[in-house]
Amino acid sequence: MKFTAITAVAACASAVSAAPGGWSNMKAAPCPKSPFQFTSTYSVTATPDQVVNGTTPTGGLPGAIGHYELGLNSYTNTICYNITLIGFRGNYQSAALTATHLHEAAKGQSGPPRVAFPNPVGDEKYANSIGCMKGPFKTGLNGTDGVTDTGANFQVSQIEKNPAGFFVDVHSSLAVPGAVRGQIA
């Protein structure tokens, strides 16, 4: 949120100084609204010890850690993300479109992915993915009916209603059930 506020202040200052007459004519160039309007934000640390297969702990990928910063706008069904992986090894591996996900399940349980984030780019020391996605979401996996994508009817407002019912994770060829996992709340 600090970055958003700083960006908005900088944009406002630029807009006003660019207006004819500069600061003295600031009503001629009103400050733009921030490009990021969130109805909620979440900061999640994902660790190997939280990874399960079904309900059985797997240990994940020892030494790996993930930091997920999420900004939600439930009015526009948008999720913005800043995902950082440290110590991730192996190749990304998942049957979904990507190996970096938001899943629906309580702590200690597995559940279907609802959002497939772009995999972070970088190396074993540091990999990052930043962006925003707007629904409808697509994971590339079919749900229990065998037809409908597991992200098809997902709304980010579902996270706001029950953050404890969702988690983020990433999958590695060295830890296919998950390298790291972090519960939203």
**Domain co-membership, 145 together with 173:** yes
Q: Check pLDDT > 50 for residue 74.
A: yes
Q: Check pLDDT > 50 for residue 42.
A: yes
**Domain co-membership, 41 together with 30:** no
**Domain co-membership, 42 together with 28:** no
| Predicted local distance difference test score (pLDDT) of residue 160 | 98
Reported pTM: 0.81
For 147-173, the pLDDT digits (tens) are: 999 999 999 999 999 999 999 999 999
Q: Give me the domain span that covers residue 7.
A: 1-35
| Predicted local distance difference test score (pLDDT) of residue 78 | 97
| Predicted local distance difference test score (pLDDT) of residue 81 | 98
Q: Name, in order, each residue with C-beta under 8 angstroms of 183's C-beta and a sequence gap of 6 or more.
A: 44, 50, 107, 164, 166, 167
**Domain co-membership, 59 together with 10:** no
- Write the CATH number for 150: 2.60.40
**Domain co-membership, 10 together with 45:** no
For 90-109, the pLDDT digits (tens) are: 999 999 999 999 999 999 99
Assign 36 a pLDDT band (cuts: 50, 70, 90): confident
